Amino acid sequence: MTVRNIASICNMGTNASALEKDIGSEQFPISEHYFGLVNFGNTCYCNSVLQVLYFCPPVPGECVGIQGPAKEEGKLADVPGGPFPQPCHATFKKKVGVIPPKKFISRPRKENDLFDNYMQKDAHEFLNYLLNTIADILQEEKKQEKQNGKFKNGNMNEPAENNKPELTWIHEIFQGTLTNETRCLNCETVSSKDEDFLDLSVDVEQNTSIIHCLRDFSNTETLCSEKKHYCETCCSKQEAQKRMRVKKLPVILALHLKRFKYMEQLHRYTKLSYRVVFPLELWLFDTSSDAVNLDRMYDLVAVVVHGGSSPSRGHYITTVKSHGSWLLFDDDIVEKIDAQAVEEFYGLTSDISKNSESGYILFYLSRE
């Protein structure tokens, strides 16, 4: 019987009781909490992402409720990250239980057309929305604080560069930098352009690994025919070679496996349930020559898993690593699993049209 079969026949009462026995104080700190989240109609995409952010060590505790409610006077109290602590705070005397994050979910449904109904949504799109929304609000708060400080000090004519958006903890934790390198095959001039990212989206193939996917991501592409590159040195379009390399690695590397592909003949998206192996340890070394951090060792700390055959039909669950042990979060169900059970989410070796539970977003934490 698989982990998911076990989870499906458990109710929360017996599950909570079993979980409390599994997470004794010797291994798990008394201050740690393991709450399931109520599903308010296809909100598993939201629940799965929230569990990841809660258990990622560098994420500030006040954002996900482990240090009490957010400041009421700030806008952050009303946004994703703010509503989450309120139901959580009252329940914190318990180590396990269930939280209804209704207020949290109501915000995206009000403000973004993508989430304004009860249909299944994409967990990757929600992760992007959540990180960018929190970053925007934090930057706006910092901007207002700066302006208020200028009014108080009477210093209203600061240089324009001082008005650039400040980096937030979102950027400090999740943001990396890519370098898009293009080499003209006529004059050998190399031009480069930097691009920041909060996650990397990689193509997937059958019976491969995430390491192979990352190598493909940075493969050299030849630009010819209609795709010729305009070379500033030659002042004309020339054949060129282009590749993407990592210039700055993030603290948490979020890898999005592009499992949903639009099929022209079907006129819809279908799921690629390919088997893609992702190791518990990942060493990244293929970086640009002027990389800030040339190589870095990462540990897998969370996986958002999609079960089903299409982006609009299916279910999201999450596995996270907490204090050396792995836990499975399936909405309101929480249970401890073996590290080997994570291998169940690699995907299928054949019959890729079948429903499968496969890794969709991987989260790797840097050891540095």
Provide mean pLDDT across the span 101-114.
79
pLDDT at 5 over 70: no
Q: Which of 33, 44, 63, 124 is catalytic?
A: 44
Looking at residues 44-67, what average pLDDT do you find? 77
Count up the domains in the chain and report the number: 1
Structural domain contains residue 12: yes
Read off the DSSP letter of residue 182.
Answer: E
User: Of the listed 184, 212, 315, 323, which one is catalytic?
Assistant: 315
Q: Does 74 have pLDDT greater than 50?
A: no
Asked if residue 158 belongs to a domain, the reply is: no
The pTM is what?
A: 0.84
Domain residues for 65?
3-151+170-366
pLDDT of residue 263: 85
pLDDT digits (tens, 9 = 90+) for 166-217: 889 999 999 999 999 999 999 999 999 999 999 999 999 999 999 999 988 8
157, part of any domain: no
| Residue 323 annotated in active site | no
Portion of the chain with pLDDT greater than 70, in percent: 76
* pLDDT digit string, tens, across residues 270-299: 889 999 999 999 988 755 556 677 678 999
Looking at every residue in the chain, the average pLDDT score rounds to: 81
What distance in Å separates the CA atoms of residue 200 and residue 212, rounded to the nearest whole number? 14
In the sheet that 240-248 helps form, which strands lie side by side, from edge to edge?
Answer: 190-197, 176-184, 240-248, 221-223
The answer to the question of residue 259 being in a domain is yes
Contact 49, 123 (CB under 8 A): yes
What pLDDT is recorded for position 11? 45
CB neighbours of 248 closer than 8 A, spacing ≥ 6?
A: 176, 177, 291, 292, 293
| pLDDT of 231 over the 50 cut | yes
Give residue for tokens 């560098």. 58
Residue 163 lies in a domain: no
pLDDT digits 0-9 by tens, 247-257: 899 999 999 99
Q: Which of 6-10, 112-116, 227-231, 348-352 has the highest mean pLDDT?
A: 227-231
Is 44 tagged catalytic? Answer: yes
Beta strand extents in the chain (DSSP E only): 34-37, 96-99, 176-184, 190-197, 200-203, 208-209, 221-223, 229-231, 236-238, 240-248, 252-258, 260-263, 268-271, 276-277, 281-284, 296-310, 313-322, 325-330, 333-337, 356-366
Residue 156 lies in a domain: no
Per-residue pLDDT reduced to its tens digit, 137-152: 889 888 888 877 765 6
Can you give the CATH number for the domain in which 104 is found? 3.90.70.10
Handedness of CA 347, 49, 298, 195 (dihedral sign): positive
- Domain contains 160: no
